[in-house]
Amino acid sequence: MTKNKRKIINDPIYGFVTIPDDLIYDLINHKYFQRLRRIKQLGLTNLVYPGALHTRFHHAIGAMHLMQEALLTLKQKGIAISQEEEQAALIAILLHDIGHGPFSHALEHSIVKGITHETISSLLMERLNKEFKGKLSLAIKIFNDKHKKKFLHQLVSSQLDMDRLDYLKRDSFFTGVSEGVISSDRIIKMLNVVNNNLVVEAKGIYSIEKFLIARRLMYWQVYLHKTVLSAETLLVNILRRAKELSTEGKELFATPLFKLFLQNDFKKIDFDKNIDILDCFAQLDDTDISASVKTWVNNDDKILSTLCLDLIDRKLFRVEIQNAPFAVAYKNKLMEKVMRTYKLNRKEAAYFFVSDSVNNSAYLAGKFNINILMNDGSLTDVAEASDQLNLKNLSQTVTKYFLCYPKEINL
């Protein structure tokens, strides 16, 4: 029986991932977790990188695998980690993204405003803990940084956590952007613990620099790629329009689950009070959104159907992107051109002309620092320890401004 549950899962990245025990096996097979099989890690990124179809399910499994390796390394270095702590840390990383909805970013900007995936994750972990009779209590403590061995939390959530190590590796792998590849093996081998905090041994410093640069590269080359921004902008506008129409009482085709959230404006308090809402949210996945958007191609609202057709047939908006804000006059001119071309009022035209910005910091000094354990036993922030690469520069936030509008609009 027990033996049956010691499964291995194939992973093109790590070869095999071993499921270490029955509780974790049961969690992976729980419908909350199985749902993550139907939620892509990178939303619409596959419109640019066609291989980027990997799911949050696979990512969570992979992050758990790295956690196994990290804990093994630390134990080999003599760090005390009990069997309970080990299981709890594995569960914490496994469930860290359990609350993600489909196309999270887009959804949170349109359909379930004000409900973040972190909130949902907490609610779902509590539900699971109840269902599994308290066996997740320590995992939740670690997740919320309430356990005294802070390094366990830092392995789950910090600037050098197993989440990041896995997603950078996985996203590089499936997009084919080989420059984002990081050496998770080497970084993990360099981990250690000082005063209950995670540190990196001095000889690992070049690997950390490389990791920070790789992460920055992935931001601009993949996560904030201008065509990806364009596709996501389109989806946000589609969902906003659908919500607007639904609110006005118009009946739109949608899967029943999706319809529930289209037609209602649930707040955090509703999720707390009404367990069914949480349960419905925990059934929503990419297919609800995609199948509905696809069908709206034939909707009689011209704005909605046009936006949907653009997304489905991949006729994406042009994106202009630059380091400084765009001139107001320029934006006005474009907006007016959109209004004239499509004969729309300003409010309607806003569905076809978006001005927004994105930003990224490669490293946030001072917050969840990455500490380097120097050869003399002292600790130094990686931003100070690097001999040349002025990592302080990397901690500046870079902001880029962009405009999106149909390709046929030309000034």
Binding-residue total with its own copies (CB under 8 A): 78
- Identify the bridge partners of residue 201 per DSSP, sorted by sequence position: 373
Give the residue with the Cβ less far from its own copies, 45 or 110. Answer: 45
Site for its own copies contains 410 (CB under 8 A): no
Q: Which two tokens stand for residue 408?
A: 């046929």
Q: Tell how far CA 158 is from the center of its chain.
A: 14
- Identify the bridge partners of residue 55 per DSSP, sorted by sequence position: 40
Give the residue with the Cβ less far from its own copies, 9 or 339. Answer: 9
Tell me the per-residue interface mask from 183 to 202 with its own copies, x by CB under 8 A, - otherwise: x-xx--x-------------
Give the residue with the Cβ less far from its own copies, 185 or 348. Answer: 185
Q: Which two tokens stand for residue 4?
A: 């049956």
Residue written as token pair 């209602």: 264
Site for its own copies contains 175 (CB under 8 A): yes
Question: Which one of 107, 115, 120, 213 is in contact with its own copies (CB under 8 A)?
Answer: 213
Residue 378 CB, nearest distance to its own copies (Å)?
14
Question: Which one of 81, 85, 108, 220 is in contact with its own copies (CB under 8 A)?
Answer: 220
Query: What are the backbone angles phi and psi of residue 103, rounded to the nearest 5°?
Result: 45, 50
Question: Which one of 135, 141, 210, 318 is in contact with its own copies (CB under 8 A)?
Answer: 210
Under 8 Å CB-to-CB from 35, ≥6 apart: which residues? 282, 283, 285
Residue 48 CB, nearest distance to its own copies (Å)?
8
Under 8 Å CB-to-CB from 211, ≥6 apart: which residues? 160, 165, 168, 182, 187
CA–CA dist 328, 351 (Å, integer): 18
Residue 173 CB, nearest distance to its own copies (Å)?
6
Site for its own copies contains 143 (CB under 8 A): no
- DSSP designation for 350: T
Nearest CA-CA partner of 365 in 399, 387, 400, 391:
391
Give the residue with the Cβ less far from its own copies, 96 or 147. Answer: 96
SS3 160: coil
Question: Which one of 288, 317, 370, 373 is in contact with its own copies (CB under 8 A)?
Answer: 288
Give the residue with the Cβ less far from its own copies, 16 or 330. Answer: 16
Site for its own copies contains 179 (CB under 8 A): yes
CA–CA dist 154, 199 (Å, integer): 10
Site for its own copies contains 176 (CB under 8 A): yes
Site for its own copies contains 394 (CB under 8 A): yes
Residue 37 CB, nearest distance to its own copies (Å)?
7
- Identify the bridge partners of residue 30 per DSSP, sorted by sequence position: none
Residue 137 CB, nearest distance to its own copies (Å)?
25
Q: Give the number of other Cβ atoms within 10 Å of residue 208's Cβ.
A: 22
Question: Which one of 295, 305, 341, 380 is in contact with its own copies (CB under 8 A)?
Answer: 295
Residues 306-325, interacting with its own copies (CB under 8 A): 312-314, 323
Q: Tell how far CA 314 is from the center of its chain.
A: 23
Q: Which two tokens stand for residue 96?
A: 């860290």
Residues 331-390, interacting with its own copies (CB under 8 A): 362, 387-390
CA–CA dist 231, 226 (Å, integer): 9
Residue 177 CB, nearest distance to its own copies (Å)?
7
Give the residue with the Cβ less far from its own copies, 40 or 243. Answer: 40
Residues 76-105, interacting with its own copies (CB under 8 A): 76
Question: Which one of 23, 81, 194, 217 is in contact with its own copies (CB under 8 A)?
Answer: 217
Whether 17 contacts 8, CB under 8 Å: yes
Give the residue with the Cβ less far from its own copies, 8 or 275. Answer: 8
CA–CA dist 411, 409 (Å, integer): 7
CA–CA dist 143, 162 (Å, integer): 13
Residue 15 CB, nearest distance to its own copies (Å)?
5
SS3 379: strand
Residues 254-283, interacting with its own copies (CB under 8 A): 255-257, 283
Site for its own copies contains 71 (CB under 8 A): no
Residue 113 CB, nearest distance to its own copies (Å)?
24
CA–CA dist 200, 49 (Å, integer): 33
